[in-house]
Homo-oligomer: A and B are copies of this chain.
Amino acid sequence: MVIRSEVLVLVLLLGSAVRSFKLDELIKYVDSHEEEYVQALREWVAVESDSSDVTKREELHRMMDMVAEKLRKIKGTVELVDIGSQQLPDGSSLALPKVVVAQFGSDTNKATVCVYGHVDVQPAKKEDGWATEPYNLTDINGNLYGRGASDNKAPVLAWIHAVEAYKALNLDLPVNVKFIIEGMEETGSNGLDAMIESKKDSFFSDVDYIIISDCGWLSKRPALTYGTRGNCYFFAEVEGPKQDLHSGVYGGTVIEPMTDLIGILDTMISPSGTILIPGIREAVAPFSDEEWKMYQDIEFDVESYRTKMGVEQLMYSNKVELLAHRWRHPTVSIHGIEGAFSAPGSKTVIPAKVIGKFSIRQVPDMDPAVVEKQVSDHLHAVFAKRKSPNKLKVTMIIGAKPWLADLKHPLYHAGKAAVKKVFDMEPDLIREGGTIPIARTFQDVTGKSIIMLPIGGFDDGLHSQNEKMSRYNYIEGTKLFIAYLQEVSQIKAT
């Protein structure tokens, strides 16, 4: 297969030195390189680039080197940017994985796109319940199982292969392409914000558009993503006695912090899931008729979503309502309580200090600073009514903003056109319920427009056991990226 494609390249080279866009040829090239792409993914998945595990840091450094190597091989201008080190809880410091930046072309007559991706992964162990070895890419019925396959190694490779295909066929890259690939995304993109800020006037100065492919489709139908929710993460700490107390010996004589915490947490959400914190719901933009229509067109099966989660009943049984509450309405989730007894078994303790952890996924028109005040005011008000002798402290520890793109932006027209060309259908226009903070950083620091162009499958199991990428999404996704580069190049032309 390799030989055949090399022959093809030679034949094509007989034409002209650098030729113009030929989608059919590129598609053929991708199809004939499927096994090589799978092999490349296998090599990347084999690296345990778990950014949360400090003992795996060497693997992460090796991973970044492999990314740089891959980009250099196809003649990119590649740099490994040192972004410093992180402080560990024991006081020592550990080098952060370098960020790989690369550039293909610097033709000032062309637009420049910057592709963002990451190659670090969430932790994974066979014992967690994987059916296969998580770091050994395993093909079962066309699904490629392995940690990081979908999040985010295959999409990054697909982008590299897209550029590689143009080069291999000696086709002119229709736009200049830059890459920014990091290795700390899963633990909060440590060091990246500062790097983006520092390169605002150099690396990013000529970037026109930023493309992020760190998400997935909603169904088997391709999708373009135009929004994400934000994330306001709170600690509500109630502090009482100086130290934990024996519940038998002291129970009945102190107002317990845990009782107070449960009491105030219970005032935030109604049994049916309505947010009761004053001001939150009021801030949400009204749902327009146009939006309603758009949601109606989205391919999404409520019943299979319900079955997949294994719940008897969802909060909304109507597709539009459900998607709207997943993407464009805020939600409150209580994640857990620190400081109380959480192990299996029984322990008769009155915890002295407990920290309730919850988050509000906020949506456009909601400002984290305002949400912080609303939550704090509300909790302090209900706490005051309890007349408790304990102390309450409310802190917002994350205030990641939502991101919303203008669907009328040419980036999205280009996306629709590329999907049409590769898949012969219209894409779903979707949002993400989760938060991708880097999108907002790019937007705020560089002022550039962003599109999220996912190729991950709806059932890829990111962060879960048995994460996978299908051959279909991987290969057709590569073609989509190829087509998209061409479509983006048309933006300036029109």
Contact = CB atoms under 8 A, between A and B. Distances in A.
Given A263-B266, A266-B262, A348-B233, A252 B331 contact: yes
Interface residues of A, number: 82
A346 B398 contact: yes
Interface string A236-254: 0000111101111111111
Copies of this chain: 2
Contacts of A434: 246, 248-249, 348
A326 interface: yes
Interface string A251-275: 1111110111011011001011100
Nearest to A325: B252
Interface stretch (A100-108, A169-177, A314-322, A467-475): A314-322
A389 interface: yes
A342 to B, nearest CB: 4
A255 B231 contact: no
Contacts of A245: 309
A357 B351 contact: no
A361 B249 CA distance: 10
A74 to B, nearest CB: 34
Given A309-B241, A336-B351, A351-B336, A315 B249 contact: no
Interface centre among A252, A398, A432, A464 (most CB of B within 10 A): A252
Contacts of A374: none
Interface string A323-359: 0011001111111111111111011111100000101
A463 B432 contact: no
B335 A348 contact: yes
Contacts of A339: 342
Contact of A390 (B242, B311, B349, B350): B311
Given A338-B344, A343-B338, A346-B233, A247 B333 contact: yes
A273 B242 CA distance: 19
Contacts of A254: 309, 311, 314-315
A334 B251 contact: no
A388 interface: yes
B351 A311 contact: no
Nearest to A233: B346
A401 interface: no
A357 B341 CA distance: 8
Contacts of A258: 333-336
Contacts of A272: 255, 387
A241 B311 contact: yes
A324 to B, nearest CB: 9
Interface centre among A248, A329, A331 (most CB of B within 10 A): A248
A8 interface: no
A397 interface: yes
Given A309-B241, A326-B250, A433-B251, A338 B346 contact: no
Given A335-B350, A337-B340, A340-B342, 18 more contacts: A229-B248, A231-B248, A233-B348, A240-B311, A247-B335, A248-B433, A250-B309, A254-B309, A258-B336, A313-B389, A333-B349, A335-B341, A336-B341, A336-B349, A336-B351, A337-B337, A346-B398, A347-B357
23 contacts: A231-B248, A247-B361, A248-B433, A249-B433, A251-B333, A252-B331, A254-B311, A254-B314, A254-B315, A255-B271, A255-B311, A259-B269, A259-B271, A263-B271, A312-B390, A333-B350, A335-B340, A335-B346, A335-B348, A335-B351, A336-B342, A336-B349, A337-B340
